[in-house]
Amino acid sequence: MSISNIRVFLSFAGILYIWCLPLLAEIGFAEKNSNSISEFIANPPATGAMAAISFMPLVLMWEYQDIIINHYKKNDNIKKILDYSINFFQFFYGMFLTCTYSFVPSWLHTTTVVLFGLSFIIHSVLVLRYIQPFFLAGFVLCIGILAFFLLLFVQDMWFWACECIGLTAMILFTPIDWYFNYDSQSILLN
């Protein structure tokens, strides 16, 4: 099974969306005077668009993880660990979208953002350890992890840029690894 061009295109639409949020704010779709993705998407249409553009990358993460684990690794312990980590990651990502900035208490939004970021980092480290992705995909994932850590030290539009880099890496990882690594995995499957 190979990844289709439309699925890659739909994943890249998510990347384009987050990087265009300042421009979308200028036309009134996203929130003006914002310094984070959370602030930019702090209205129903922008949050809804974020959820919509997230669908394909999240589905690809699940599908690819299942393909690799079920057909290549065939290890029940690894499958359980990665299933738990991806479940926590996607749960907290959903909570991040649900607990929208300025619509819930600040502490609740911040908590969901921190848990979303931490669960992404934990899941990514586990993927790097157990799936052993193609070098370029692993490098992209490491950049994403670093970008999430940098959020502790940056502010203003640098905060938004680091968030965008982290989410871009999160979205890019699966299509890159699927594209470059699938042929070698399918050879091992036969």
The pTM is what?
Answer: 0.83
Regions in the chain scoring below 70 on pLDDT: 1-2, 70-74, 182-190
Q: What is the pLDDT of residue 72?
A: 61
The predicted structure's pLDDT at residue 42: 93
Predicted confidence at residue 16, as pLDDT, reads: 94
| Spatial separation of the C-alpha atoms in residues 155 and 148, rounded to whole Å | 13
pLDDT of 29 reads: 96
Q: Which of 88, 87, 83, 55 is nearest to 69 (CA)?
A: 83
pLDDT of residue 67: 77
> What pLDDT was estimated at residue 190?
39
pLDDT at 116: 87
The predicted structure's pLDDT at residue 131: 76
What was the pLDDT predicted at 126? 85
Predicted confidence at residue 189, as pLDDT, reads 40
Cα 98 to Cα 96: distance, rounded to the nearest angstrom: 5
Q: Where are the domains of the chain?
A: 5-189
In degrees to the nearest 10, what's the CA dihedral of 103, 164, 172, 28?
60
